[in-house]
Amino acid sequence: MHQADLIKRIQELKLKRNAVILSHYYSRPEVQDIADFVGDSLALSQEAVRQDADVIVFCGVHFMGESAAILSPKKTVLLPEIDATCPMADMVDVEGLKRLKEKHPDAPVVSYVNTSAAIKAESYICCTSANAVEVVNSLDAEEVIFVPDKNLAAYVAARTDKTIIPWEGHCPTHHQVLREDVLKMKEKHPQAKFIAHPECRPEVLKLADNVASTRGMIMYAKNSPAQEFIIGTECGLIHGLLKAAPEKTYYCVSEFACCPSMKMVNLENVLESLEKMQHVVTVSEDVRVRAKEALDRMLAVKIK
Ligand code: 13P
Ligand code: SF4
């Protein structure tokens, strides 16, 4: 089917099913373009609650759809590609987390939203890259267990008086960005500001003019007087940057900064998901209720 026909059919089925399409900024450009809402992980969680559709087609990886299903149990949440999972989310397991909790009984668990529902259910509170520092600082505790991203944990540790006990996980897409990649790009584009996601290594973040969530990076580029930016995150963000500030120039920090999971969702499987009402995200009620408590606590934290 041609792209125009695919889009037409998706729009028709969206109406028929009373569905909305939510997409993360790392999705393919054509997928972002058919979405009703494109956002970072925090905004997508909030939007899932706000929408009053019967069906949410979640163009992203598994944990994102799961968060929507946890927060909005009355809606049917569909993932166009069931194999689109986040390798970082898979790096933390419930048994290992329980052992760490036993070692540090007074430390609440802060879990990045890039985790399974089962991990969220074992956590006191969740966070995203947009609110991690505020979430940790909101806690009445001296020690905090932070899972699964060690880079985000180090970023938070530098901005809090609390002791952060990190998990040894990382995002393969962000972790493979090296200091040398940034230095090379800075030499090639000396006028450009370097903006980076906190999932990058600490030595990469040290070189950044701004560190922020994906949405924060877009806001920074839009509002900055600078005209050129080196982008230290998954390169799908460049589509959102070009939409927000098309007159500016963006360079991806590394040609390898691409998340294979996020690219698995395409127009064909979005259409198929609406046609066949697949793949429905399910979370057992016991896990969902406990995971929701952790997400609700996060959503109650005020951020700047
Ligand atoms: P944010 O959208 O919260 O910045 O997260 C980035 C990410 O890696 C999602 O998978
Ligand atoms: Fe997971 Fe990294 Fe891909 Fe985000 S970019 S989905 S954290 S692997």
- 185/260 Cα distance (integer angstroms): 23
Is 154:169 a contact under the CB 8 Å cutoff?
no
Cα-to-centroid distance, 16 and ligand 2 (Å): 32
Mean pLDDT by 10 residues, the chain (304 residues): 96 98 98 97 90 96 96 96 98 98 98 98 97 98 98 98 98 98 98 98 98 97 98 97 98 95 98 98 98 97 84
State the CB neighbour count (10 A cutoff) for residue 280.
Answer: 14
* pLDDT value of position 42: 83
Which own/partner contact pairs does 142-146 have at CB distance under 8 Å and 24+ positions apart? 142/106, 143/104, 143/106, 143/107, 144/107, 144/108, 144/109, 144/110, 145/97, 145/100, 145/101, 145/104, 145/107, 145/108, 145/109, 145/110, 146/109, 146/110, 146/112
Report which ligand 2 atom has the smallest distance to the Cα of 114.
Answer: 7
CA of 174, nearest ligand number: 2
**CA-proximal residue: ligand 1, atom 9 (nearest):** 41
Cα-to-centroid distance, 41 and ligand 1 (Å): 5
Residue ranges lining ligand 1, Cβ < 6 Å: 40-42, 86, 114, 128-130, 171, 197, 199, 213-214
**CA-proximal residue: ligand 1, atom 7 (nearest):** 41
- Pocket test residue of 27, 28, 61 for ligand 2, highest count of atoms within 8 A of CB: 61
Closest-CA residue to 204 (of 228, 222, 227, 230): 230
Report which ligand 1 atom has the smallest distance to the Cα of 217.
Answer: 4
CATH topology for 177-252? Rossmann fold (3.40.50)
Residues 6+ apart with CB under 8 A from 25: 32, 38, 39, 40, 214, 215, 218, 234, 236, 237, 239, 240
* pLDDT value of position 207: 98
Write phi, then psi, for 196 (nearest 5 degrees): -135, 155
Report which ligand 2 atom has the smallest distance to the Cα of 261.
Answer: 3
* pLDDT value of position 45: 86
**CA-proximal residue: ligand 1, atom 2 (nearest):** 40
Cα-to-centroid distance, 173 and ligand 2 (Å): 6
Residue ranges lining ligand 2, Cβ < 6 Å: 26, 61, 86-88, 114, 171-174, 234, 259, 261-262
CATH topology for 3-84+262-282? Rossmann fold (3.40.50)
Cα-to-centroid distance, 85 and ligand 1 (Å): 13
Please name the helix (run of DSSP H) or strand (run of DSSP E) that holds residue 77, with its range, or none: strand 76-78
Residues 21-46 have pLDDT tens digits of 999 999 999 999 999 999 998 899 88
Report which ligand 2 atom has the smallest distance to the Cα of 61.
Answer: 6
Residues 267-300 have pLDDT tens digits of 999 999 999 999 999 999 999 999 999 999 999 9
The residues of the chain that CATH labels 3.40.50.10800 are 3-84+262-282, 89-170+287-299, 177-252
Report which ligand 1 atom has the smallest distance to the Cα of 60.
Answer: 10
* pLDDT value of position 303: 82
* pLDDT value of position 32: 98
Cα-to-centroid distance, 199 and ligand 1 (Å): 8
The dotted CATH code for 89-170+287-299 is 3.40.50.10800
Closest-CA residue to 262 (of 116, 79, 50): 79
* pLDDT value of position 40: 92
